[in-house]
Amino acid sequence: MNERETYTVQVAGITRHLQLFEVAPGVRIAIFNMLGDTIVVKATAAALAERLKETPADVLVTAEAKGIPLIYEMSALMGLPYMVLRKSYKSYMGNALSAETVSITTGKPQTLYMDEKDTHFIKGKKVVLVDDVISTGSTLKGMEKLINQAGGQIVKTAAVFTEGDADWSHIVALANLPVFTE
Protein backbone atom coordinates (compact mmCIF):
# COMPACT_ATOMS: atom_id res chain seq x y z
CA MET A 1 0.00 0.00 0.00
CA ASN A 2 1.34 3.44 -0.94
CA GLU A 3 1.91 6.08 1.73
CA ARG A 4 -0.67 8.80 1.23
CA GLU A 5 0.52 12.42 1.47
CA THR A 6 -0.65 14.19 4.63
CA TYR A 7 -1.21 17.72 5.88
CA THR A 8 -0.31 18.40 9.52
CA VAL A 9 -2.71 20.46 11.63
CA GLN A 10 -2.79 21.67 15.18
CA VAL A 11 -6.23 22.23 16.63
CA ALA A 12 -7.19 22.76 20.28
CA GLY A 13 -3.64 21.80 21.29
CA ILE A 14 -3.74 18.48 19.40
CA THR A 15 -1.60 17.59 16.37
CA ARG A 16 -3.01 15.38 13.65
CA HIS A 17 -1.75 14.34 10.21
CA LEU A 18 -4.68 14.48 7.80
CA GLN A 19 -4.55 12.41 4.62
CA LEU A 20 -5.00 14.25 1.34
CA PHE A 21 -7.68 13.00 -1.05
CA GLU A 22 -8.63 14.17 -4.53
CA VAL A 23 -12.27 15.33 -4.55
CA ALA A 24 -12.28 16.71 -8.10
CA PRO A 25 -9.71 16.66 -10.92
CA GLY A 26 -6.70 18.60 -9.64
CA VAL A 27 -8.36 19.43 -6.29
CA ARG A 28 -7.30 17.76 -3.05
CA ILE A 29 -8.43 18.34 0.51
CA ALA A 30 -7.14 17.22 3.89
CA ILE A 31 -9.76 14.85 5.31
CA PHE A 32 -10.66 15.54 8.94
CA ASN A 33 -12.60 12.65 10.42
CA MET A 34 -13.08 12.93 14.16
CA LEU A 35 -15.20 9.77 14.44
CA GLY A 36 -13.48 7.54 16.98
CA ASP A 37 -10.89 10.18 17.96
CA THR A 38 -12.11 10.91 21.50
CA ILE A 39 -9.11 13.11 22.31
CA VAL A 40 -9.82 15.45 19.37
CA VAL A 41 -13.58 15.40 20.03
CA LYS A 42 -13.18 16.41 23.67
CA ALA A 43 -10.53 19.06 23.00
CA THR A 44 -12.32 20.71 20.07
CA ALA A 45 -15.71 20.59 21.80
CA ALA A 46 -14.23 22.29 24.87
CA ALA A 47 -12.56 24.96 22.72
CA LEU A 48 -15.75 25.67 20.75
CA ALA A 49 -17.90 25.67 23.91
CA GLU A 50 -15.54 28.22 25.45
CA ARG A 51 -15.81 30.48 22.38
CA LEU A 52 -19.60 30.22 22.45
CA LYS A 53 -20.10 30.69 26.19
CA GLU A 54 -21.46 34.25 25.80
CA THR A 55 -23.84 33.28 22.97
CA PRO A 56 -27.48 33.15 24.06
CA ALA A 57 -28.65 29.80 22.70
CA ASP A 58 -31.37 27.24 23.34
CA VAL A 59 -30.23 24.34 21.16
CA LEU A 60 -27.30 23.04 19.10
CA VAL A 61 -27.92 21.56 15.63
CA THR A 62 -25.63 19.52 13.35
CA ALA A 63 -25.92 17.41 10.22
CA GLU A 64 -25.34 13.68 10.27
CA ALA A 65 -22.72 12.09 10.78
CA LYS A 66 -19.19 13.31 11.61
CA GLY A 67 -20.45 16.22 13.72
CA ILE A 68 -22.43 13.97 16.07
CA PRO A 69 -19.71 13.20 18.65
CA LEU A 70 -18.67 16.88 18.59
CA ILE A 71 -22.20 18.19 19.21
CA TYR A 72 -22.84 15.56 21.90
CA GLU A 73 -19.76 16.67 23.84
CA MET A 74 -20.58 20.37 23.32
CA SER A 75 -24.13 19.70 24.51
CA ALA A 76 -22.84 18.14 27.72
CA LEU A 77 -20.36 20.98 28.33
CA MET A 78 -22.82 23.78 27.53
CA GLY A 79 -25.89 22.26 29.18
CA LEU A 80 -27.91 22.57 25.97
CA PRO A 81 -29.96 19.99 24.06
CA TYR A 82 -28.87 19.04 20.55
CA MET A 83 -30.55 17.93 17.36
CA VAL A 84 -29.19 16.01 14.36
CA LEU A 85 -30.41 16.65 10.82
CA ARG A 86 -30.50 13.30 9.02
CA LYS A 87 -29.23 12.42 5.54
CA SER A 88 -31.87 9.78 4.93
CA TYR A 89 -35.59 9.76 5.58
CA LYS A 90 -37.08 7.20 7.97
CA SER A 91 -40.83 6.59 8.17
CA TYR A 92 -40.92 7.50 11.87
CA MET A 93 -39.82 11.05 10.94
CA GLY A 94 -43.38 11.86 9.80
CA ASN A 95 -43.80 15.08 7.80
CA ALA A 96 -40.12 15.90 7.83
CA LEU A 97 -38.74 19.09 6.35
CA SER A 98 -36.03 18.63 3.71
CA ALA A 99 -33.28 20.63 1.99
CA GLU A 100 -30.87 19.57 -0.76
CA THR A 101 -27.11 20.05 -0.40
CA VAL A 102 -23.96 19.08 -2.31
CA SER A 103 -21.04 18.06 -0.10
CA ILE A 104 -17.48 18.50 -1.40
CA THR A 105 -16.64 14.98 -0.22
CA THR A 106 -19.52 13.28 -2.05
CA GLY A 107 -19.72 15.62 -5.04
CA LYS A 108 -23.38 14.79 -5.58
CA PRO A 109 -26.69 16.05 -4.22
CA GLN A 110 -27.76 14.90 -0.77
CA THR A 111 -30.88 15.72 1.18
CA LEU A 112 -31.01 16.81 4.81
CA TYR A 113 -34.15 15.98 6.80
CA MET A 114 -35.55 17.49 9.97
CA ASP A 115 -37.78 15.06 11.86
CA GLU A 116 -41.37 16.27 12.30
CA LYS A 117 -41.00 16.23 16.11
CA ASP A 118 -37.93 18.46 15.82
CA THR A 119 -39.77 21.07 13.75
CA HIS A 120 -42.01 21.70 16.76
CA PHE A 121 -39.02 21.74 19.12
CA ILE A 122 -37.03 24.30 17.04
CA LYS A 123 -39.82 26.85 16.63
CA GLY A 124 -38.91 30.08 18.41
CA LYS A 125 -35.55 28.71 19.62
CA LYS A 126 -32.11 30.35 19.39
CA VAL A 127 -29.95 27.90 17.44
CA VAL A 128 -26.20 27.39 17.12
CA LEU A 129 -25.29 25.40 14.00
CA VAL A 130 -22.30 23.09 14.51
CA ASP A 131 -20.25 21.19 11.93
CA ASP A 132 -16.88 19.48 11.79
CA VAL A 133 -15.71 21.19 8.57
CA ILE A 134 -17.36 23.93 6.53
CA SER A 135 -15.96 23.83 3.01
CA THR A 136 -18.29 24.98 0.24
CA GLY A 137 -21.05 26.05 2.62
CA SER A 138 -23.65 23.86 0.87
CA THR A 139 -24.45 21.75 3.95
CA LEU A 140 -24.54 24.93 6.02
CA LYS A 141 -27.07 26.50 3.63
CA GLY A 142 -29.23 23.37 3.86
CA MET A 143 -29.07 23.47 7.66
CA GLU A 144 -29.96 27.18 7.65
CA LYS A 145 -32.92 26.55 5.33
CA LEU A 146 -34.33 23.87 7.63
CA ILE A 147 -33.94 25.97 10.78
CA ASN A 148 -35.62 28.93 9.07
CA GLN A 149 -38.48 26.73 7.77
CA ALA A 150 -39.04 25.41 11.30
CA GLY A 151 -39.13 28.93 12.75
CA GLY A 152 -35.83 28.85 14.62
CA GLN A 153 -33.38 31.75 14.88
CA ILE A 154 -29.73 31.05 14.03
CA VAL A 155 -27.54 33.00 16.44
CA LYS A 156 -24.11 31.53 15.56
CA THR A 157 -22.41 28.95 13.41
CA ALA A 158 -19.42 27.00 14.71
CA ALA A 159 -17.02 24.47 13.20
CA VAL A 160 -13.73 22.84 14.04
CA PHE A 161 -12.40 23.87 10.62
CA THR A 162 -13.37 26.09 7.76
CA GLU A 163 -11.81 25.17 4.44
CA GLY A 164 -10.55 27.20 1.51
CA ASP A 165 -10.30 30.90 0.80
CA ALA A 166 -13.93 31.96 1.23
CA ASP A 167 -14.79 34.69 3.75
CA TRP A 168 -15.53 32.59 6.82
CA SER A 169 -15.33 35.54 9.26
CA HIS A 170 -18.93 34.89 10.40
CA ILE A 171 -18.05 31.34 11.52
CA VAL A 172 -16.68 30.54 14.98
CA ALA A 173 -13.91 28.17 13.88
CA LEU A 174 -10.77 26.82 15.49
CA ALA A 175 -8.68 26.78 12.29
CA ASN A 176 -8.79 26.84 8.48
CA LEU A 177 -7.74 24.06 6.12
CA PRO A 178 -6.33 24.89 2.70
CA VAL A 179 -7.69 23.44 -0.54
CA PHE A 180 -4.82 22.05 -2.62
CA THR A 181 -5.00 22.70 -6.38
CA GLU A 182 -2.58 21.65 -9.09
pTM above 0.85? yes
The residue-averaged pLDDT of 135-164 equals: 95
pLDDT (0 to 100) of residue 24: 85
pLDDT (0 to 100) of residue 23: 86
Show Cβ contacts of residue 114 under 8 Å, excluding neighbours closer than 6 positions: 83, 85, 86, 96, 97, 98, 122, 146, 149, 150
Dihedral angle, C-alpha 100, 81, 125, 42, nearest 10 °: -70
The residue-averaged pLDDT of 106-114 equals: 83
pLDDT (0 to 100) of residue 106: 62
**Residue 108 pLDDT > 80, yes or no?**
no
For residue range 11-50, list pLDDT tens digits in order.
Answer: 999 999 999 999 889 999 999 999 999 999 999 999 999 9
